[in-house]
Structure formats: structure tokens, C-alpha cells
Structure 1
Amino acid sequence: MKFTKMQGIGNDYVYVNCFEETVKDPAAVARYVSDRHFGIGSDGLILIKPSDIADCEMDMYNLDGSQGAMCGNGIRCVAKYVYDYGIVKKENISVSTKSGIKYLDLTVRDGKVALVRVNMGSPVLTASQIPVVSSTEEMINAPLKVNGETYYITAVSMGNPHAIVYMTDVDHLDIGEIGPYFENHMAFPDRVNTEFVEVLDDHTLKMRVWERGSGETLACGTGACAVAVASILNGHVDGEKPVTVKLLGGDLEIFWDRQENLVYMTGPAATVFDGEIDLSFLE
């Protein structure tokens, strides 16, 4: 199988061009290639497929083999791949995902995509649609007992369910200890991505993320969008200006257009290397 390793601010995936390749068991392939010791090493697998309703389709799998609905960093790399490799030679493209069609604007430098602005769609705040089990229609700064301690969370879906928690120091958080308790909490029937957020000023946030099915990752695009929305709703940042979200792998710029109720994410995408791997033993 031919593949390309790509990353968006450290959120790395193995990408396969399914215009040319066929992946028979993507869940098993995702588990194998994601292993950083015995495989290629990644946060998961993304298949780039033909689409009847968009320029291409993104089909993503987490490192544990579970299928994901949407990945903000991953979709920027999909846009870079289809442009740089000549599949879709346009600077405004559409990508079909499990959470709907996303529209992307590409910044091209020296014939290659450098930055991608993604229309991530409208945030979902209704608890039952996220989904999160709640006695209220929305969960904004709502108490939740996790592993014996009460946290105040804001629940947002950007195609994936997110729980946002604010704290004064995210650098020294033992995220490997607390993350799984959030991910598998009974309040989240589809599990949840959890963002632990420190407010730096009225337009800058720092976050770490524990992603369902992947553990801590260097970045999460849908998570950064959810964090910006939650921070505006909680009055932590100025909602009239773009918000800079600082992740372990780099920065993303997020703008929630309240009139359109659309969230826009801008960030880089990079190709790491191309390769070929023998998967015959999986058949």
C-alpha cells in the first residue's frame, strides 16, 4: 500500500489515495500503521476517496481502529494532498465527511498548499445531539463528577463530541490519568474528546486534548473550534475577533461568525514523507 505521512501542527495521520489504492480492512490497517514502534506511527488513518457530492471524501480512523466523523487538522492535510498531488487543482474545494460537506480555502505558495481555512460548520450545543446525558438542554459551565471530583464542563459538538474544562495550569496536568475517565464517562454515550483549557488573555487560549480512541494528541482541530465557541459562551474571550488557540503542536486561528453561526479554522498542513508498506499479512 502506498501512503503519505502528513501532519497539521503535530496531529499526524497516514493518508492513502483511494483514487488509486483499495484498503480492505481500514480498522485493522489503522491499528497497524498507527503503532509508533511496529508501524509507521500516527494518530490514525485517513482515506482520501472519490465522492459523488464533493471534490473528494475523507474517511478517517483513530489509532484504535474506531471510525471518526471529522478531524480539523486532518481535513487541512486532505486539502493539501488533493491539490499538491493534482487530484483537485482548485483553491476552493469541498470535502465530504461523516459530519457533512466541509468547504476549504487554500493558500498556495510556490505551487504548494501552505495554509488552509476550513468552514467547520455550525457548533452543536443541544445536549442530546452532541450527545451528552444532561437534565438541561445545554451544558454550559455545568458540574460533572469525574473520578470523585467535580469539574465544570461546557459540551460542544463540531462533528465530534467535546467536553471543555477550564483550569489555571494545563502544563502540569496529568492528562494520562484523568483523560480516560472523561472519555469513558457514562454521561457521554459515544465517548468524548476532552479539552483542558487555560485562558491566557481575551483572545488567546492554551489547551491540551485527550481524544477518544487516540489519547493525548499534539493538536485537535475540532477541539480548538469547540474551545473557542465554549470560551465565547463563557465570556473568557472577545467573540468579535479571531481567537488564537495554542496547542502542543502549534497555533490555530478560530473565528466564530455569530451572524452566520459558522466556525472558521485556519492553520498549516505539511507533508512529512511518502512511502509504501506491505500489508499482505493482514489479509
Structure 2
Amino acid sequence: MKIDILKCHGSGNDFIIIDEMDGQYDFTEEERVVLSNELAGRDKIIGSDGILFIQKSEHADARMRMFNTDGSEAEMCGNGLRCVARYVAERLGKEKLNIETMKADLEVAHVEELFEGILTYEVAIEPVSLSTQTIPLVSEQKDHINQLIKGLPSHLKFTALSVPNPHIVTVVDEVKADEVKDVGEQANSLTDILPNGVNVSFVKNLGEGRIFVQTFERGVGLTNACGTAMSASSLVSCMLGLTQFNEKILVLNPGGMVECVVKNDDHGQYFIRLRGNATYEYEASVEFDFSSPESAEIFDQTIFDDEIALYDKLATAAKTMI
């Protein structure tokens, strides 16, 4: 069968979009797993951090489902949501919309440019919870803020939260990619403590409302960026006094940069807005046979050279700020 795809990225966190809104595809859940394995895996024909399936919604402008490269479905994906926001906004001719995700309907909007020439979208990252039961993190405590986690290195203290996918965040003096990868793998092997797995982020405080974040993403591995991880890290940085609530936080990452604003209310609830690029790399068609997925072929590819060049400028500028 022929499958039309759009390759895109948010902060270098790249995805394959498949539009199901017109009902032209009728994938089973098993076929979504196969597509995620065979198209999105880094050693496969396209390669990405996952697939974003865009579907009709009964109560929102569209529905987003995000599948990781291992075939697991994520509760949310902040960088992916920005890409979906742009795609649906342009498809429907809207500036603001609501996108249905696994845990909530989220507001998204086309906003002022984060960097010259870069189409920028703001998305709500909700619901936010510090409850160890919600994450889940097996613990006798109701929350886990800046503490050790049994089975992980004793020099690292973590804050655990869901946004709504599970995250643990640690603040360090220097972020080392090898350590992020090692600790991420360790954390996801602790099934007695973190039964659903977890995204692991290392944060470096850069001062003046800036942080650097690198993340090991559950179901994917070490990534250029993870939108919910940057959101979770921004909240943790506010809680620990590194940055301020209600003010813009510039979050730098190996793939570029985004902005976050974290708000809280009198009831102890947190609200996060994530703002950043939604860059198109290319569109194409894939000839795919589920009985022989390894034979997939790409054709009719159109590359968006101008968008790629513009984002390269942003990424270069971001590196000078770290």
C-alpha cells in the first residue's frame, strides 16, 4: 500500500506524521507497531524518534497518537504536539486549536517567532502531577523531590513528576551524554520501582533564566530533545529556585532551544506552556507491504531546503549560548 508521510522535527526531536483524518488508512494497533518499528527505527528506511498519527476527534480539532520506535505508545509528546499543531492549523486554516491526546485535550497556537524566520507554536503541557502514584514511582512518600532513587547513582538526586508521561529530573554541574544514557538505561531497568519506565533528564543551570537539558527518552533512547522533558525540567528548575515561576525560561538542548513558562496557583497546581519550532524536513510517499515490511521504499520525495537552512541557523545560535 501507498502511505503518504511528512518528516518533521521540534528542537531536533524528529517524527514521521501520518494523516488519518480523511479515513484513507485503516491501521490495526498491531500495524501501528510494525510501522513504528520499520519506518521510524534509526536503522530503518526513514529513521526518527517516532510516528505521530493524526486522527479525527469527536470533541477536539484533531487527535494525536504518538508511537515510539519500539512500538510503545507515549502518553504525550511536547515536541511532536508542536508539529501536529502546525500541521492541523494549516490544514484547517486556524491559528488556535485543541488537540486530543491520551490524557487531555490541549490548547495549541501559532505564536510569535522564537527565532527569526522560524514558524513557532505554543502548546499546553498538562496534566502535571508530582504524585508518586501517578508517575508511578513505587514509594511510601506522596512525592519525590530532589532525593535519591534506589538503584541509581548515589551522587544524583532526582525529582519525579508526570506531565503526563513519567519523568525524573536531576540537576548537575555538567551534562555528559554517556552518563545520561547509562542512567536512563538503569532507570528503565528498575521495573520494581518504575514499573512503566521513565524519561530521564539531566539539567545544567546556565543562569539568567536559562537551563540546558539532555534526556534519555523511554522507548527511544538518548534524544536531541524531548518536549515534555524540557517542560518537566523547567518546572523542577523553578521548584529548586534556579529559575522563576511566571517568567520565560530559555531551554537549550542538543537539538536547539525552546521557551517554557511555568505557572502555579493557590491550590498547588502547575501549568506549563512550551513554545518552539515545528520544522518540516520533507514529504514523501512510502510503498509498504505489511507482509514484507523490510521491502518498504520511499518515492516522490520533496525536501524543504529553506526550512532546514533556517533551523540550522537557530541550532548554531543555540550552541553559542551553552
- Shared fold per TM-score greater than 0.5: yes
Which residues of structure 1 form unaligned runs of 5+? none
Which residues of structure 2 form unaligned runs of 5+? 293-322
After TM superposition, the score normalised by the length of structure 1 is 0.93
Which residue does the alignment assign to 1:120? 125
Which residue does the alignment assign to 1:230? 236
Number of residue pairs matched?
A: 279
Which residue does the alignment assign to 1:41? 47
- The aligned amino acid for 2:283 is D
Deviation digits for residues 97-138 of structure 1 (CA, Å, limit 9, x no counterpart): 0021010111388xx981111121242011101111112111
Q: CA RMSD in A?
A: 1.9
1:107 touches 1:113 (CA, 8 Å); kept in 2?
A: no
- Mapped to 1, the partners of 2:58 and 2:232 lie a distance apart of 29
Which residue does the alignment assign to 1:89? 93
Structure 1 residue 150: Cα displacement: 4.8
Which residue does the alignment assign to 1:270? 279
Which residue does the alignment assign to 2:32? 26
- Mapped to 2, the partners of 1:182 and 1:232 lie a distance apart of 24
Map residues 239-278 of structure 1 onto 2, 5 A cutoff. 239-259=245-265, 261-278=270-287
- Mapped to 2, the partners of 1:148 and 1:70 lie a distance apart of 28
Greater shift, 148-157 or 37-46, is seen at 148-157
- 1:211 equivalenced with 2:220 (yes/no): no
Determine which of 99, 106, 112 is the counterpart of 1:102: 106
Structure 1 residue 146: Cα displacement: 2.9
Determine which of 274, 279, 283 is the counterpart of 2:288: 279
- The aligned amino acid for 1:223 is A
36 and 139 in structure 1: CA distance in 2 versus 1, 3 angstrom threshold: same
Map residues 130-279 of structure 1 onto 2, 5 A cutoff. 130-147=135-152, 149-171=154-176, 173-185=178-190, 186-259=192-265, 261-279=270-288
172 and 91 in structure 1: CA distance in 2 versus 1, 3 angstrom threshold: closer
Identity rate, percent = 28
- Mapped to 1, the partners of 2:38 and 2:175 lie a distance apart of 31
- The aligned amino acid for 1:3 is I
3-state SS in 1 of match to 2:148: strand
Deviation digits for residues 69-94 of structure 1 (CA, Å, limit 9, x no counterpart): 1000000000111123x2x2111100
- Mapped to 2, the partners of 1:282 and 1:227 lie a distance apart of 42
Structure 1 residue 231: Cα displacement: 1.2
- 1:73 equivalenced with 2:83 (yes/no): no
3-state SS in 2 of match to 1:129: coil
Structure 1 residue 36: Cα displacement: 2.9
- Mapped to 2, the partners of 1:268 and 1:29 lie a distance apart of 25
- 1:9 equivalenced with 2:11 (yes/no): yes
1:125 touches 1:138 (CA, 8 Å); kept in 2?
A: yes
Which residue does the alignment assign to 1:129? 134
- The aligned amino acid for 2:97 is I
